[in-house]
Structure 1
């Protein structure tokens, strides 16, 4: 007996959401993409024009949504903007949806919920200690969702890179990048792997409630930057910079996500960036 294609709503169907939509469509899902703007969505994705900050705009959501992916983007990097979408917007959307039909919610959060661990390994069992407002608000959103009692899974993503996210390469090429004078770990995930992880979690019959979305290879920041600079034909960045703020020094483990059956296409950010550099060179 054929299983009907799931009806999936991607709330915040931007870059990563659009990539996830393409993966889900290839698997037969009917995908709805919620956006504030009228910017075009990938072919075949049903546009839902709505604003998570406007209750009235959520009055005509599609019926029978069985799977929800929540990954909006704040207008600005301020506490007010983050709360508006990751906490208040989530509550408004869940109030507007027929949650009785929901079989799975994936809330896309961030590894920013973890504090500094001195370079030690961090996994899903590590207690969150957000060093900045962004991590604190995302963590509040996670907890609000858990309080709803829905079949929900949180995916905490590491730093994204990929097509359209090449500012690091530009800074290295221009000699503007710096690395900290003390050791600091970089944790990354390619945008296509982030999208693939989202789609993967929607296929699991009994996913756990939390996963870390990161590649296989945490790298010392000076190693990552130095190897990329070499590929670009640029000098290695000098160790005169400050440690990245609001992140914390740690190595993120993807062991749980891997154990669920997910295999990243780009397990090492050096290879992923190398492909970007080659694509830029034509």
Structure 2
């Protein structure tokens, strides 16, 4: 049985390695196919262009696209046009996968004044790019009502060390009360595999967030302590990116999913250890 990762970047590759470890044959589509590691099979493909033939035994399709830049046009091309193009290719080749999962974003939600949101909460994207991602979700469910949408919060992990780098450089903005929701890259990849292979009757929508929404300044204080450095004085936050909200992972946990990194503490300690940094 084949798993197709349409958009086999960092997250897609990590999910693909987990599918392969579970015994699947994994085909990854990426513009730069040479970047896809064995045992995955890489195939050069631009999701917005002409797509290769899809293997007839494809059981799972993961659409994990990314925009080339942060603009409405780039997001529409990657998310809306790319998703439609993958679905068209499936129809073209007469392939009917058992599971289709679309990697979405919690950017489709608005500000909740610090309150809790879940899969039943209304969406209210604060950005044009978030609205385009929401449009892609609707397109997918209109054509495949049984498809799974996984809305991921801020992904961190190997190679995603923006906050660590800011703390090291002394340029981190602790903000004032800004909430952050996040998930380790490896847990995001595991959730993709879990929802497409281990859940008998998946819901159409899940939030991919860890167990602890937290103020950004608490994360930064933790990192500063681990790195043995000091944060600058607290200032009003210049950023509202991420929205003032707490996102619930209750539905994901109800499927039996278990986090390797249930909070930012375990996750960032693993990142720092992998980076060769001593921490207490």
TM-score relative to the length of structure 1: 0.93
The offset of 1:247, in angstroms, is 2.3
CA offset digits 1:95-132 (Å, max 9, x no partner): 11146522111000001000000111111011000001
* Alpha-carbon distance between aligned partners in 2 of 1:36 and 1:193, rounded to the nearest angstrom: 25
**Which segments of 5 or more consecutive residues in structure 2 lack a partner in the other structure?**
none
Partner of 2:81: 88
Q: Does residue 157 in structure 1 map to residue 152 in structure 2? A: yes
Q: Report matched runs for 1:202-281 at 5 Å.
A: 202-203=196-197, 204-281=199-276
SS at match of 1:33: strand
Q: How many residues align?
A: 274
Q: Tell me if structure 2 keeps the 8 A contact 1:225–1:237.
A: no
Compared CA separation, residues 220 and 246, structure 1 to 2 (3 A): closer
**Selected match of 1:106 from 86, 101, 112:** 101
SS at match of 2:29: strand
The offset of 1:72, in angstroms, is 1.0
Q: Tell me if structure 2 keeps the 8 A contact 1:69–1:106.
A: yes
Q: Tell me if structure 1 keeps the 8 A contact 2:56–2:95.
A: no
Q: Tell me if structure 1 keeps the 8 A contact 2:145–2:204.
A: no
Q: Tell me if structure 1 keeps the 8 A contact 2:75–2:132.
A: yes
**Selected match of 2:60 from 40, 55, 67:** 67
* Alpha-carbon distance between aligned partners in 2 of 1:279 and 1:48, rounded to the nearest angstrom: 30
* Alpha-carbon distance between aligned partners in 2 of 1:158 and 1:88, rounded to the nearest angstrom: 23
Compared CA separation, residues 155 and 99, structure 1 to 2 (3 A): farther
Partner of 1:147: 142
Q: Tell me if structure 2 keeps the 8 A contact 1:153–1:208.
A: yes
The offset of 1:278, in angstroms, is 2.5
The offset of 1:59, in angstroms, is 4.4
* Alpha-carbon distance between aligned partners in 1 of 2:41 and 2:270, rounded to the nearest angstrom: 31
Partner of 1:136: 131
* Alpha-carbon distance between aligned partners in 2 of 1:270 and 1:99, rounded to the nearest angstrom: 46
The offset of 1:238, in angstroms, is 2.6
SS at match of 1:267: coil
Structure 1 residue ranges (4+ consecutive) displaced by more than 4 angstroms after TM superposition: none
Q: Tell me if structure 1 keeps the 8 A contact 2:118–2:249.
A: yes
SS at match of 2:58: coil
Partner of 1:180: 175
Partner of 2:116: 121
**Selected match of 2:44 from 39, 45, 49:** 49
* Alpha-carbon distance between aligned partners in 2 of 1:264 and 1:103, rounded to the nearest angstrom: 25
**Selected match of 1:193 from 187, 190, 196:** 187
SS at match of 1:135: helix
* Alpha-carbon distance between aligned partners in 1 of 2:128 and 2:61, rounded to the nearest angstrom: 25
* Alpha-carbon distance between aligned partners in 2 of 1:241 and 1:15, rounded to the nearest angstrom: 33
Deviating more after overlay: 187-196 vs 66-75: 66-75
Partner of 1:3: none
Q: Tell me if structure 2 keeps the 8 A contact 1:226–1:237.
A: no
